[in-house]
Structure 1
Amino acid sequence: MLRYLIPFLILNLNLLAQNNQIIDYSSPKKYEIGGVTVTGVQNLNKNTLLEISGLKVGEEITIPSDKISSAIKNLWKQGLFSDVDILIEKIIDDIIFLNINIKEQNRLSKFKFKGKISKSDINSLKEELNITRGDILTKNLINNSVNKIKEYFINKGFYKISVNYLVSPDTLKNNYKNLTFTINKGKKVKIKNIIINGRKKIFNTKQNLIFKKDSIYAISDFQIRKSMKETKKKNAWRFYKASKFIEQNFINDKKNIIKKYNEIGYRDARITYDTVYLNQDNTLTIEMNISEGEKYSFGKISFTGNTVYTNEQLNQTLAIKSGDVFDQSILEMRLFGSGEGNDLSSLYLDDGYLFFNATPVETSVKNKKIDLEIRIYEGKQARINKVNVKGNTKTNDHVIMRELRTRPGDLFKRSDIMRSQRELAQMQYFDPEAFDVKIDPDPVKNEVNITYILEEKSSDQIQLQGGWGAGRIVGQLGFTFNNFSTRNVFKKDKWDPLPSGDGQKFNISASSNGIYYQQYRMSFLEPWLG
């Protein structure tokens, strides 16, 4: 059967169809699609491919038209084919029959590694690559795999790593290929030296018997080395941390250096240049240039928008004085996040002002002093609407609720939430690392819903003791159930292994040295009796 390829571009050609009808590509003509066949398919569903193409039997189509181009593009976008053609099978009057001829991409049969690498490295690489049998074997997949292999070994200190690959046919299955990675790790490369340029010496205001120098760096070599927590140069005495270079660790360590400068008033400090190069002795040198800038201190601090507390009260809570070394992290901590709860945010949040916000704005920078205006939005006091508990699969709600210091109708207080968390932790029924509190405010109604998210843990105990005395063995066995429930004793479905959930404590123990001495004890405690 004679076939004609429908091209992407409109060609000024006349092609003869099987019924001797001339197809003039310079004069588009409308046809009805009488049928569409798919050829070249080995692993894919033909009906699915027809759906993707958008060509449907019975629909009207113009030859040539963008609809053919769109059908080819739709199939190409799947990334499953190396070639896609749409051909004319035949034309009967105004009915056209089309054929989609495709060539599938090769698929991966299996892959393996060659080279001097350990089994643990092979297992780790398989997890890193995350490729499996049947994947489309594209150039992009191979290149990504090679890059991941290189990155894996570079992070282990092998900077001269080379990776080659070989694609070979699978003789047992058509269109499937085997992939072999040949890895040459080379030798490990360690950091020999870290060079810091650009630092300026300043007058030493803290001279003593130990530090006698007249001038020093703002941050000493020791402080810089300490700031670089993960990027260390080679030392024979440092056996607990490898001196390998990892790009992400180096990025983080550069941030740590700048953070250290910021803490002592150098707010404009930045690293303007850094490079890593290989030495002739197969070691690395890291070189960077630091622009320190000027050292600043806090100037005048004023407040605006505050009506609940006076400027004096806010200044006392902020506890930053004019002349103190400027440190942005200290400012943010005193505004929003002191661990002791003596920040401005805690001051307002402990009085119901849930919608409080403070925005520090620089108003002046003179003589290396930074004046600030802290603009405060107080909002209205919020009251607690609902208090919910989630995650308690064993402990009953009322046992938890009686420990909480946040109750519906009360003013919202941050300190009450923190105390409630401490109370729940002391119960020892829940995993403290899984504690979370979800705050859901409603600014329109000035209300807030609080949800305590918990995760149960085992709190029961078993005690086994043994000893020898007077020629006899003395033993003791005891069980303590810290979250017992008496009201569920007669409910069979609550025994797991004993009824629990009401926060009661039940203890039973026995001790004996044989037939001469036996003692049995049983105790019960209801912590909220009365």
Structure 2
Amino acid sequence: GDGQKLSLNAQTNGSAYQYYSVSFQEPWLGGKKPNSLSVSFYYNIQTNKTYYNLHPENLQTAKVAGISVGFGRRLKWPDNYFTLYHALGYQHYKLDDWLYRSYIRDITNGSYNNFTISTTFGRNSVDNPLYSRRGSEFSLGLELTPPYSLFGNKDYPSLSDQEKYKWIEYHKWTFKARWFTQIWGDLVFHTKTEFGYLGYYNKKIGYSPLGGYRVGGSGMAYYTYGVDIVGLRGYKDGELTPSDGANIYTKYTMELRYPVINSESATIFALAFAEAGNAWHDTKTFNPFIMKRSAGVGVRIFLPMLGQLGFDWGYGFDPQPGEIGPHGSEFHFTMGQQF
């Protein structure tokens, strides 16, 4: 009766992909203040097994299990819209000859562990989560792993990847902000900006093969793991990610939105957008003035039984490696709301 939420999720397409998760959220921990407690667990197994590849000697597998516990509280200062959220997380990766649909770098075999501590400071004054007309939302997040390499005397350049990355280490900084402005009637102007950076503690180890970014496309995860998915419409999924991995990204979005149907049973709105963004491997190659640009139109449909569905057409203005002219048209499908 206090808004507790229990979620069970199972996805599969047979033996090639299976995903299971359980999560629980208590929004009023203690019953008096809006302090939230959340617990989640997931298990994911992927293989390259298809109708065309059933031979055991060619089998590749990736198994990932994770658990997280988080605590959030609403702040009274500077105002009641501010929140602070802390979380502990642990992921275990087990890879066997994993190359199929792999978006992580360097590691294809072995067991790897990722223990994280994260804090997110945010503010949300958006008036309506389904069709927002006014308000703003921002978040500043820091995710850390313990700096294991600083406590030992290992010769990291001489270690194998399995030994070097047995316990993943990094620090990750994320900033996101968006604004909603009511122009006239129900016509809304939406702007958004994002920035992410994955750093390392030890130059001898360098950037972590897990925890980076995959930029471009719809922003849906599909078969990916070990990276944060960043959508940029008008380009293919992950297409803007450097071949040696993305550890920095920026993204800017402008949208005009107008509701077609806005009722308790359904919310549908049309939009026109312009986006720009890019991804870089390191700070030496980072250049915030080199952007991949796109524009297009789309529609968002919210149904209580299905959640939010999105359909977009985008046109990429900038060529990718090997292309001569503009990248051209791309269609995108999304499920769920995205910050």
Query: Where on the TM-score scale, by shorter chain, does this alignment land: which range?
Result: under 0.3
Task: Answer 1 or 2: which has greater strand percent.
Answer: 2
Structure with max Cα Rg: 1
Task: Answer 1 or 2: which has greater helix percent.
Answer: 1
